[in-house]
Structure 1
Amino acid sequence: MPRTDVPEVPGVLAAADVAATARSIAAVQESSGAVPWFPGGHTDPWDHVESAMALTAAGLREEAAAAYDWCRRTQRSDGSWPAKVVDGGVEDPTTDTNFCAYVAVGVWHHLTCTGDDEFARRMWPVVRAAIDLVLDAQTERGEVAWARGGDGTWASEALLSGCASIHQSLRCALALADHVERPQPDWEVALGRLGHALRAHPEAFADKSRYSMDWYYPVLGGAVRGPAGLDRIHRRWPEFVVDGLGARCVDDRPWVTGAETCELVLSLDAVGEAVLGRELLAAMQHLRDPGGSYWTGYVFTDGKRWPEERTTWTGAAVILAADALARTTPASAIFRGDGLPLGLAPVGTGCGCDTYVTGVPG
């Protein structure tokens, strides 16, 4: 009998299907706790945490705890992680701010699901160090530089999708800080400044508008919600969504990808379009392998799956989307932002714009 506390979306995914997907992720997990993209592939901090969240949501809590322990043990002294690790060795030492911040989302998700206060207090120093590092890359306007190279210099560019994800990370980090009774007022200010930049200053970010993530991530990360969020989603829907298949990764390529489709599902759910989200989750099931894992994408002009790999993070995105739609776990609302801090509205920015003209976080 399938566990009743595993998410299921009737007519799309049974609880047994979701459990099989979680097992496919756990089967790739290394003895260190790392969750690489696929067997023998590299581990990056962001996708590793997303996989840990999926393991928690599907009830594989020991495996999830091992993944978070990997984060704790491998964090560098400055609060960062390398961008790529292969079999315990560093392949790319770059510090990616979005990658580093995302541990806060995972820790808050795990705590919300499990109520494990000991876990929260053990992981708090990890989250605090990571967030402090990330905010060192924030400009006065509010955006966060995307990376730091080996010379210690922050990149001159900020990425919209990455900063929108950092917005979500800051909200979860503040919630964790409140839980462990370590308030961080500077983080509240930083969150307000970042949200303002995301809503009102598109010029702050490198132009990556070809990519679907730049389209939906300001909604997914909680910076743009309500009517503004709905308008943002519907405005470019025809450019990115392919009926019956899912969402494109890039607007001018005939390639739909499972993870982007499921993140769009989460974005739709966050703005009250759960029915439409369910339809999209159903549409991308052509990427499902009989064993429960998911192929990364599909080139619909050629009728071929590409690349020829089944990625842990694609399966993880499916599980998190299913949980959001099913409202199964206590953390199913994490991307809706229910109860998460909003940050402090910036004052004295001198930019002459209305902070809330393009949407208020919900």
Structure 2
Amino acid sequence: MPRTDLPEVPGVLTASEMAATARSIAAVQESSGAVPWFPGGHTDPWDHVESAMALTASGLHDEAAAAYDWCRCTQRSDGSWPAKLVGGRVEDPVTDTNFCAYVAVGVWHHLTCTGDDDFARRMWPVVRAAVDLVLEAQAERGEVAWARGAGGVWAGEALLSGCASIHQSLRCALALAEYVERPQPDWEVALGRLGHALRAHPEAFADKSRYSMDWYYPVLGGAVRGRAGLDRIRGRWRDFVVDGLGARCVDDRPWVTGAETCELVLSLDALGEAAPARELLAAMQHLRDPDGSYWTGHVVTDGKRWPEERTTWTGAAVILAADALSRTTPSSAIFRGDGLPAGLASVGAGCCDTYVTGVPG
């Protein structure tokens, strides 16, 4: 049963409402431990871990542990996971670097919430193999190729949002390495290079500026904070935020999405902007279903749900945002980056990058 100290945000979400959302995620979990998008839907490693984190934050630790056991049992020999599985069958074998790296965030989140030492040591080889695989795709400048196809060739393209998420993953992986007393100095160098690329080399990444994730993820992933982070968020606020409804997924589409809105909430919280973060969390509650699950999105022009699906990862994002704002669990600071390693500063010749992760320049 869920514990009583569940995340809640007064005037927005109660603990009992959060318990219902957690149950809606657990109800979709398969016997293998996989958490697909919705019943009968596909599982991808990133959203699976996000759902596991929400289960942990809601006190459903056995269900979360089963989700991480799924990660351990389905990891391929090279440290990766397929991008898409349905009912245990591989539907898309592509290796997505961001998908693979994110297990480090989930494992660190679960450890900080539960203090389960056995879990940390059981999952350490999984995280180590995943991170080593991902860093094979890192370019000299610091960016990480987004994927490797079935032919074994890394894509010649890096994605800003994915690399920003990998930045967060590397910080959590380094924290776990320190915890299990397995220092990884190469990872520290890789983190520094990646952070520098995210801050100083926009040309390293494919232009996906239409998407809100490219706007806020450098903040959410910890590479850009302080005044630079605030300036970044304020600079495109009107492009993406629809007052009273939430954040758009794409700047030129009349579609607000719950998960992107909640990730923006987490980004604002990391910048110390609690008031607008709380307002955004309140604004997206029109996506809540009576059973506690959340619809993925809402079309502003006609008021319709789209797509017509209630996704586990949207509910998970709500729980994690509520936990961050309420400071309920010991892991609620994970996206603020409190105490996470910064990596080794890396500034190329002629570059201007005075920001070190976690410390405004």
Residues of 1 paired with 2:2 and 2:210: CA distance?
A: 41
Aligned position for 2:341: 341
CA 1:2–1:62 in structure 2 vs 1: closer, same or farther (change >3 Å)? closer
Per-residue CA deviations over 1:50-86 (Å, capped at 9, x if unaligned) read 0000000000000000000000000000000000000
CA distance in 1, matches of 2:134, 2:358: 21
How far off its partner does 1:296 sit? Answer: 0.1
Q: Deviations over 1:127-181 (max 9, x none)?
A: 0000000000000000000000011000000000000000000000000000000
List per-residue Cα deviations over 1:239-283 (Å, max 9, x = no partner).
000000000000000000000000000000000001110000000
Change (3 A) 1:144 1:24: same
1:2–1:16 Cα contact (<8 Å) kept = no
Cα root mean square deviation, aligned: 1.1
Query: 2:90 aligns to what SS in structure 1?
Result: strand
1:224 deviates by 0.1
Distance across 1 between alignment mates of 2:52 and 2:66: 9
**How far, CA to CA, are the matches of 2:318 and 2:354 in structure 1?**
32
Read off the aligned partner of 1:126 and give its amino acid letter: V
Q: How do 1:232-271 residues align onto structure 2 when only pairs under 5 Å count?
A: 232-271=232-271
Distance 1:14 1:2, change over 3 A: farther
**In 2, distance between residues paired with 1:355 and 1:226?**
13
- 2:73 & 2:351 partners in 1: Cα distance? 44
> What is the CA distance between 1:226 and its match in structure 2?
0.2
Q: Could you say what secondary structure the match of 1:105 adopts?
A: helix
**In structure 2, C-alpha distance between the alignment counterparts of 1:300 and 1:23, rounded to whole Å:** 29
Contact 1:174 1:184 in 2 (8 A): yes
Amino acid at match of 2:182: R
CA distances 1:73-104 after superposition (whole Å, capped 9, x unpaired): 00000000000000000000000000000000
Equivalent in the alignment of 1:361: 358
Q: Secondary structure at the match of 1:85?
A: strand
User: In 1, distance between residues paired with 2:316 and 2:17?
Assistant: 13
Report whether the alignment pairs 1:18 with 2:18. Answer: yes
Question: Shift of residue 361 of structure 1?
Answer: 3.3
Please state if 1:153 is matched with 2:150. no
**Equivalent position of 2:97 in the other structure:** 97
| Residues 1:2 and 1:15: Cα distance change in structure 2 (over 3 Å) | farther
| 4+ aligned runs moved over 6 Å, structure 1 | none
2:112–2:330 contact (8 Å) kept in structure 1: yes
Quote the residue 1:173 is aligned against.
173
Deviations 1:271-307 (A, max 9, x none): 0001110000000000000000000000010110000
CA distance in 2, matches of 1:360, 1:119: 28
Measure, in 2, the Cα distance between the counterparts of 1:2 and 1:79.
33
**TM-aligned CA distance change 1:360 to 1:32, over 3 Å:** closer
1:3 Cα deviation from its structure 2 partner: 4.3
CA distance 1:287–1:78, shift in 2 (3 Å): same
Contact 1:2/1:15 (<8 A) preserved: no
Aligned to 1:321: 321
Structure 1 residue 356 displacement after superposition: 2.0
Structure 1 residues 45 and 65: CA distance shift in structure 2, 3 A? same
For residues 2 and 353 of structure 1, the distance between their equivalents in structure 2, rounded to whole angstroms, comes to 50
Q: Give the deviation of 1:346 after TM superposition.
A: 1.6
Distance in structure 1 (CA, Å) of the matches to 2:2 and 2:164:
36
State the alpha-carbon separation in 1 of the partners of residues 227 and 174 from structure 2: 26
The percentage of aligned residue pairs carrying the same residue is 86
| Residue 2 (structure 1) shift | 8.2
The residue matched to 1:320 in structure 2 has which SS? helix
Structure-2 change in CA distance of 1:196 and 1:2 (3 Å)? closer
Aligned position for 1:139: 139
Count of aligned positions: 359
Aligned residue identity for 1:33: G
- The 3-state SS of whatever aligns with 2:331 is coil
Residues in 2 aligned to 1:275 and 1:98: alpha-carbon distance in whole angstroms: 30
Unaligned runs of 5+ in 1: none
Aligned-partner Cα distance in 1 for 2:208–2:196: 19
